[in-house]
Chain A
Amino acid sequence: QKEVEQDPGPLSVPEGAIVSLNCTYSNSAFQYFMWYRQYSRKGPELLMYTYSSGNKEDGRFTAQVDKSSKYISLFIRDSQPSDSATYLCAMKRDQGAQKLVFGQGTRLTINP
């Protein structure tokens, strides 16, 4: 079993829709959770960074962490074609931890 599971998609939605991206994990020691956006043939770009359980909002993006269920989500409101990319979740055990563990990534397409 992988430490982090993420549905690879692809996920295709119309412009303006609310998008929900999710990851589950098995290691209860993870405390720091990240979402990266990766455009084709580019490096990942950090979108959201959260610590422990709760919600964090940044513009059209909301990250949720439910540690009791070992489940994290990224919501995108009013989705735009420019949001079309692969979204990777990542996590680590503590702030000083060197190693990030990534999900497989979900390919998202927003159709105009």
Chain B
Amino acid sequence: GAVVSQHPSWVICKSGTSVKIECRSLDFQATTMFWYRQFPKQSLMLMATSNEGSKATYEQGVEKDKFLINHASLTLSTLTVTSAHPEDSSFYICSVRDFRSSYNEQFFGPGTRLTVL
């Protein structure tokens, strides 16, 4: 399946600053990528669907002005957490939907751990 990388793997920032997380599809041109958030000992919650060349689709309750998503190319999507606060501290994971596979499965990146002080 698709190979997905994320950068950085972890980041610590001060409250009020913005943080950008990159998600790259290394072996597959992905028209669709997904961003998830995972709190400790909890499941993955879909935040938004990132579409190449168009606006992202956000899930209910996710602030689009706070979590800016840019899918500028078929191999790169970025998530920017603007004016981060301690409650934004979480594990952010992206995934790629691989249309080459039998069931169009999603393959996940290794995640980025964000800590906001």
Interface residues of A (CB under 8 A from B): 6, 8, 32, 34, 36, 41-46, 49, 51, 88, 95-96, 98-100, 102-105, 107
Decide: A88 near B110, CB < 8 A? Known: A51-B103, A95-B104: no
Q: Please name the 6 residue pairs, one residue from A and one from B, whose CB atoms are nearest each other, closest first.
A: A43-B108, A102-B43, A104-B43, A43-B110, A43-B111, A44-B108
Q: How far is the CA of A100 from the CA of B103 in the complex (A)?
A: 13
Q: How far is the CA of A4 from the CA of B6 in the complex (A)?
A: 28
Q: Is the CB of B42 within 8 A of A44?
A: no
Cβ contact of A43, chosen from B1, B32, B109, cutoff 8 A: B109
Specify which chain B residues have a CB less than 8 angstroms from the CB of A8 in the assembled complex. Answer: 41
SS class, residues of chain A in contact with chain B: loop
Chain A: minimal CB distance from B7 (Å):
13
Q: Compute the total of residue contacts between A and B using a CB distance below 8 Å.
A: 53
Q: Is the CB of A103 within 8 A of B110?
A: no
> Contacts A43-B6, A46-B1, A99-B49 given; 5 further ones with Cβ under 8 A?
A6-B43, A32-B103, A41-B111, A100-B106, A102-B44
Q: How far is the CA of A105 from the CA of B38 in the complex (A)?
A: 11
Q: How far is the CA of A49 from the CA of B113 in the complex (A)?
A: 27
Is there a chain A Cβ closer than 8 Å to B46's Cβ? yes
Specify which chain B residues have a CB less than 8 angstroms from the CB of A103 in the assembled complex. Answer: 43
Chain A: minimal CB distance from B38 (Å):
9
Specify which chain A residues have a CB less than 8 angstroms from the CB of B43 in the assembled complex. Answer: 6, 88, 102-105
Q: How far is the CA of A96 from the CA of B104 in the complex (A)?
A: 7
Q: Which residues of B in the span 1-52 have a Cβ within 8 Å of any Cβ on A?
A: 1, 4, 6, 32, 34, 41-46, 49
From A42, which residue of chain B is reached at the shortest CB distance?
A: B110
Specify which chain B residues have a CB less than 8 angstroms from the CB of A107 in the assembled complex. Answer: 41
Q: Is the CB of B46 within 8 A of A100?
A: yes
Is there a chain A Cβ closer than 8 Å to B93's Cβ? yes
Is there a chain A Cβ closer than 8 Å to B63's Cβ? no
Chain B: minimal CB distance from A5 (Å):
11
Chain B: minimal CB distance from A26 (Å):
15
Is there a chain A Cβ closer than 8 Å to B97's Cβ? yes
Chain A: minimal CB distance from B47 (Å):
11
